[in-house]
Structure 1
Amino acid sequence: MSGRTSNQTVGALPDTTVDSPSVPAVLTWLVWSLFAASVVVLAARVRLDGAWEVPGVAAIDGLTVLLWVVVTFFSGIVHSYSRRYLAGSAYQTGFFIGVFGFTLAVMGLVAADHVALFGFLWLAMGLVMAKLIGVVDGWPQAQAAGAVARRYFLASSALLGVALTALWWATGETTVSGIAAAADGLGGPVWLIAAAALVLAAMMQSALVPFHTWLLSSMTPPTPASALMHAGFVNAGGILLVRFAPVVTVDATLMLGVVVVGAVSALLGKLLKSVQSDIKSELGCSTVGQMGFMIMQAGLGFFGAAITHLILHGFYKAYYFLSSGGRVERTAPTGRDRHETTFADVAVVVVTGLAGGALFALLTGKGTSVDSGLLLALFVVLTTLHAARSVVERTALSATARYAAVPLAFLPALTVYALVYQAISGVLSGLPVVSAPAELSALHVVVAVGFLAVYVAMEAGLHERSHRLYVALLNASQPASSTVLTSTEEYNEH
């Protein structure tokens, strides 16, 4: 038996217009103004060609204006949501300054062309997010979580510094665009150091396994900050790989390694999610998995698809974090295995997946020939089908009705994904590398077959039969001990 508890409000909702600091209102207005301006700039960029730049300092291309629109929109939602969520809080003003500062840092990062400016803004972005994670003064666990995140972000910034220094040494260029233009001549130990450092920096910032601990330890920030973190901050790894795509695509072996790294995180994120008992941790593990899918797409050479995935995942995850309070419910054991799989379940999923793959190939042209586009179609179908099934499972529909609901939810979602992918690829057309499909090799096939086998086994619930695996997953998903809440009194922020 399961059901939601009655929704009761204790006292009146706070009035955000009475005795409220002016800073939240002003910054909320400013960020929405930035969003409106970004939309205008995006429209102008689509219609007008040519270089928009401050030579040697900043360059405004399709990726820049697209991410300006996305970042300011998410930030606007967080600002507006937080005005009521944090009304009366002692740290309200500091929180808004932090969120607005983070927004400006990201907007600057995606426009930065000089490597020193790029590295500085990457560092600033991480430090501001660490501050938001530990924004509640006097709460030891919050301060510890901020410190854990800060160590990872500093390490990521150090790796990026190594990569940028090595690339400057190898090419003599001091701008991102200059390095991209000279990437054809890269190779040897210096390039290998730079490429490895770039991939590791991206993995840390996007919380891929084994660097996921900072994300699972960051459960102390206000929910709007968590939404901004999971919908925006973790996407930085994908943005880094896209900006330096000409560097990482020099060697096919490195690209295959990126695919493997993404596949491991995608699978482990899904496994770790299955042993979580609270909503925020479950969403955190889901982010680890989704970032794995995004990195896989970059590793296959489909950088436009990676940007599409991180944007759509941002909308998905922001919604689920901001509505997470509505998902709290009291549930009693039913005696039914929720992973009980029937032949009808398998048939519906297989037929729906095949139909989705054909639809994606028709709309995008990817997967119509024997190349890495087949793997892109496979990964897109898997992640979209999983999201659709998750939505259907939360409904009160009967088992029979769910058979029809899965394709009804999945096929429109996949259509949206494919159309957005096509539109974003068009916006990014001026970048040095938007699509550089990897040549399909036997190792790619091995990775894909292994990934699909493990994924299907998890969908069938086979992993739940091993108590040893359960314990291992539980241990692997534990946050840093200093960030764990051990007493209900420690939740009292006042």
Structure 2
Amino acid sequence: MAGNEQATGVGQLPNPQADESRAAATLTRLAWALWVASLGVLAAHVWTGETWSVAGALRVDGLTVVMWTAVTFFSGVVHSYSRRYMAGSRTIDRFFSRVFGFTLAVMVLVAADSLALFAAAWLLMGLAMADLVGTAEEWPQAQAAASVARRYFLAGSALVALALAALWWQTGATTVSGVAASISAPASLVVLLAAGALLLAAMVQSALLPFHRWLLSSMTAPTPASALMHAGFVNAGGVLLVRFAPVVTVDAAFMLAVVLVGAASALGGKLLKTVQTDVKSTLGCSTVGQMGFMIMQAGLGFFGAAITHLVLHGFYKAYRFLASGSQVAREVPSKSKRTGGMSAADAVVVAATGLAAGGLFAVLTGEGLHGETGLLLAGLVALTALHAAREFVAHASLPTPLRYGAVPLATLVAVAIYAAAYGAISGLLAGLPAVGDPAELTAVHGVVAAAFLAAYVAVETGAYRRSERLYVALLNASRPASETLLTSTEEYNEY
């Protein structure tokens, strides 16, 4: 460019050990110290079986210790990663203070017994995340994305406040535990209103359809902030439903509505993922689908499975975001590792793996052995295992013994680990009200399961691609807010 006297160049990456922000180093150590302390509290809870509380304010129970341990671990990883990622940035102190503040807000949220404290922590958590989305102050698009996120989060906070106010009005209780003790069937109109507001708030928080646009508009956030968002923030929707399980389980029809909402987002997220062209947007749509699965599990009454799902999804998604840079590679389009389709032998191995995985989960956990809604939970496990096996078996570059032997074996081992985690977390949640009562299996559940399976098969086989209208609809539905799009490289070229 004319008048540019300095040549463009790429300098050495900043060394976090040289002239590092004291705030970054201190808060990283504090984050890991919180994780160690959380492990201690978890061990004490498992050893003694006790629940600790501060009357009318805080209550440390099984859900609290599980979430404290997971959230502080993710926070420690993000803090450590960010010391190099944010090195040299003039906003590094602000970034670290927001990440640490977000961590504290989540810790307060999952321990809050006071309705007012719960609502305040929910609000602060959202505001901190919106600030993280807008970390890049020099980008108008980043500030626009932060504004979009903030509007959604404020709406979600208003729904939570409405629900809690309705529950206080109905029960006179000012604590979560007091509300749980006062709710009983049949549900009054006020309780159903509160349950509906809680579900909508969970949908906004977890970016379920049709509230997913804030998530897809947040790609201007720094990668570690995106990791924290997808590994922790969106999971709060599931935590909300578990914490207020006595409210959302009071009516069978409402629980079925929760299942339908989750199923719609699980399928919708999978469809949206198929039309994405960049790594972070693909991961974002994957989160929409995974949160749908989590809400489905809550709707079936398997709150232990929902918490297990969000914890394991958090580990997976944090890794995928922090490693997203390594996903960009140059490759000749014709050198695809996928076959044109599965052979008959491939299909048999994949189907057998899925069925074996579902059966193994049922045997190890006891879910689905007696004809209850555990059948649907085991079916979800089988479907997930089938999908995972299909991804590897269809790779022609893998040796046949590996595809037909090691892949199914590894899938079954993964299912066994998942079953163990599910059993452990369900045991920790056993003392919570209404979390151990799965919904009764009905004909409607069967219809929903059949429709879900048919739609899933249509997606997996690519049948949906025959509709150009659907393709365009998916593109439009997955388009971020226009003001958040970076349309020119000059807008983010620092040189």
Please give the TM-score of this superposition, normalised by the length of structure 2. Answer: 0.95
Structure 1 residues 116-131: aligned runs within 5 Å: 116-131=116-131
Distance 1:180 1:422 in 2: 24
Q: 1:492 to 1:385 in 2, by over 3 A?
A: farther
Instruction: Write the letter of the residue equivalent to 1:112.
Output: A
Alignment partner, residue 81 of structure 1 = 81
Q: How many angstroms does 1:199 deviate by?
A: 0.3
SS at match of 2:487: coil
Q: 1:392 to 1:83 in 2, by over 3 A?
A: farther
Does residue 485 in structure 1 map to residue 486 in structure 2?
A: yes
Q: How many angstroms does 1:335 deviate by?
A: 8.6
Structure 1 residues 196-275: aligned runs within 5 Å: 196-275=196-275
Alignment partner, residue 306 of structure 2 = 306
CA displacement, residues 397-447 of structure 1 (integer Å, 9 cap, x when unaligned): 257743434313311111111000001111112111222111111110000
Alignment partner, residue 422 of structure 2 = 421
Alignment partner, residue 53 of structure 2 = 53
Distance 2:407 2:256 in 1: 32
Instruction: Write the letter of the residue equivalent to 1:377.
Output: A
Contact 1:389–1:406 (Cα < 8 Å) also in 2: no
Q: How many angstroms does 1:171 deviate by?
A: 0.6
Alignment partner, residue 383 of structure 1 = 384
For structure 1, which segment, 178-187 or 218-227, has the greater mean C-alpha deviation from structure 2 after superposition? Answer: 178-187
Q: How many angstroms does 1:489 deviate by?
A: 1.3
Alignment partner, residue 456 of structure 2 = 455
Alignment partner, residue 169 of structure 1 = 169
Instruction: Write the letter of the residue equivalent to 1:300.
Output: L
Identity level (%): 65
Structure 1 residues 75-474: aligned runs within 5 Å: 75-184=75-184, 187-334=187-334, 340-387=341-388, 389-390=390-391, 396-398=397-399, 401-474=402-475
CA displacement, residues 71-122 of structure 1 (integer Å, 9 cap, x when unaligned): 0000000000110111111211111111000000000000000100000100
Alignment partner, residue 5 of structure 1 = none
Q: 1:394 to 1:17 in 2, by over 3 A?
A: farther
Q: How many angstroms does 1:144 deviate by?
A: 0.6
CA displacement, residues 109-165 of structure 1 (integer Å, 9 cap, x when unaligned): 000001000001000000100000011112011001111111110000001111001
Alignment partner, residue 14 of structure 1 = 14
For structure 1, which segment, 244-253 or 182-191, has the greater mean C-alpha deviation from structure 2 after superposition? Answer: 182-191
Contact 2:350–2:393 (Cα < 8 Å) also in 1: no
How many pairs align? 486
Q: CA RMSD in A?
A: 1.9
Q: How many angstroms does 1:467 deviate by?
A: 2.0
CA displacement, residues 18-53 of structure 1 (integer Å, 9 cap, x when unaligned): 111100000000010010011011000111133310
Q: How many angstroms does 1:324 deviate by?
A: 0.7
Distance 1:216 1:173 in 2: 38
SS at match of 2:14: coil
Distance 1:332 1:403 in 2: 28
For structure 1, which segment, 426-435 or 380-389, has the greater mean C-alpha deviation from structure 2 after superposition? Answer: 380-389
Alignment partner, residue 72 of structure 1 = 72
CA displacement, residues 307-333 of structure 1 (integer Å, 9 cap, x when unaligned): 000000000111111111111012333
Structure 2: gaps (5+ residues)? 1-8
Contact 1:41–1:65 (Cα < 8 Å) also in 2: yes
Structure 1: gaps (5+ residues)? 1-8
Q: How many angstroms does 1:394 deviate by?
A: 8.0
Contact 2:213–2:481 (Cα < 8 Å) also in 1: yes
Contact 2:32–2:73 (Cα < 8 Å) also in 1: yes
Instruction: Write the letter of the residue equivalent to 2:351.
Output: V
SS at match of 1:330: coil
Please give the TM-score of this superposition, normalised by the length of structure 1. Answer: 0.95
Q: 1:335 to 1:217 in 2, by over 3 A?
A: same
Instruction: Write the letter of the residue equivalent to 1:129.
Output: M
Contact 1:184–1:250 (Cα < 8 Å) also in 2: yes
For structure 1, which segment, 206-215 or 455-464, has the greater mean C-alpha deviation from structure 2 after superposition? Answer: 455-464
SS at match of 1:359: helix
